[in-house]
Structure 1
Amino acid sequence: MPLLHISMRAGKPEAYRQAILDSLYRAMREALNVPEGDEFMTISELSPANFRCGNAYGVSRSEDAVLIQITVFASRTPEQKKALYRRIAALLGESPGIRPEDVFVNVLDAPKENWSVGHGIAQFA
């Protein structure tokens, strides 16, 4: 039950943004065994004045950098997360062609009781 928020500079065509969503969904299916149809993702496009991504930690980022925040059940192992990071970078490199240096991923663990996916009930608690 991942929940994804993607932030990027405005101006990319719809096909580019859809390729990001498709690649992220595929990476989650492959690395985290996310069920088919489990797609809860948003993209926020920001003006250059509202998007800043530095070159800290020895990584030279370009204006094509994307910031990806993924909230998941607090049951994912470090190995699963590492596999997810690798798969995301590889798939975004294939489509839409984002350099690995421009892929910034943050995974947040949330206990299962913190989720309600509809009807006002805690389905996983």
Structure 2
Amino acid sequence: MPLISVYLRKGASPEFRRSLAGAIKTAFIGVLKLPDDDYNQVTFELDPENMIYDPNFFGEARSEKMILISMSFNHRSAELKAQLFEAVAKNVVEAVGIRIQDVMMNIVETARENWWAYGRTVNRDSGFDSRMVDAPT
């Protein structure tokens, strides 16, 4: 049950936001093997004065199209998180046509017991959604 928060400058079209959400969701389903309906995203559009970042962060030129994707979910291995970062970046670049230098991400891991939604059932052995038969860890 991930929660994705996306931060970008005001002015993105509804189509851009939908494509961005779809690109991220596709990466989560492909890498983390989530059920298709197990996805929650909130998009925050900010005034330019509230998008404060160094335009040359890590020596790479960042443009006004920079987006920040913050992903909250249960603990996964470092290898799986690296795969997810790569898949999200690739999908976002392809879906919305921004440069990879303008995609920034972080992961906030939470304990499995810190998630709740009515109707959710948890596999006692894995701690994941009971519908996730082959969930990678």
Q: Specify the alignment match of 1:25 in structure 2.
A: 25
Q: Specify the alignment match of 2:84 in structure 1.
A: 84
Equivalent residue letter for 1:52: I
Q: Does the 8 Å CA contact 1:115/1:123 hold for their aligned counterparts? A: no
Equivalent residue letter for 1:88: V
Which is higher, the Rg of structure 1 or of structure 2? 2
Aligned residues: 122
Counterpart-to-counterpart distance in 2, 1:47 and 1:16: 17
Counterpart-to-counterpart distance in 2, 1:34 and 1:10: 30
Q: Specify the alignment match of 2:97 in structure 1.
A: 97
Q: How does 1:1-125 map to 2 (within 5 A)?
A: 1-54=1-54, 55-74=56-75, 76-118=76-118, 124=122
Counterpart-to-counterpart distance in 1, 2:97 and 2:53: 18
TM-score (norm 2): 0.83
TM-score (norm 1): 0.90
CA shift at 1:123, angstroms? 5.5
Counterpart-to-counterpart distance in 1, 2:116 and 2:25: 20
RMSD: 1.6
Could you list the runs of 4 or more consecutive aligned residues of structure 1 that deviate by over 6 angstroms after TM superposition? none
Counterpart-to-counterpart distance in 2, 1:33 and 1:27: 9
Q: Which 5+ residue runs of structure 2 have no aligned equivalent?
A: 128-137
Counterpart-to-counterpart distance in 1, 2:47 and 2:29: 31
CA shift at 1:89, angstroms? 1.0
Q: Percent identity?
A: 30
Equivalent residue letter for 2:53: C
Counterpart-to-counterpart distance in 2, 1:3 and 1:71: 5
Q: Specify the alignment match of 2:133 in structure 1.
A: none
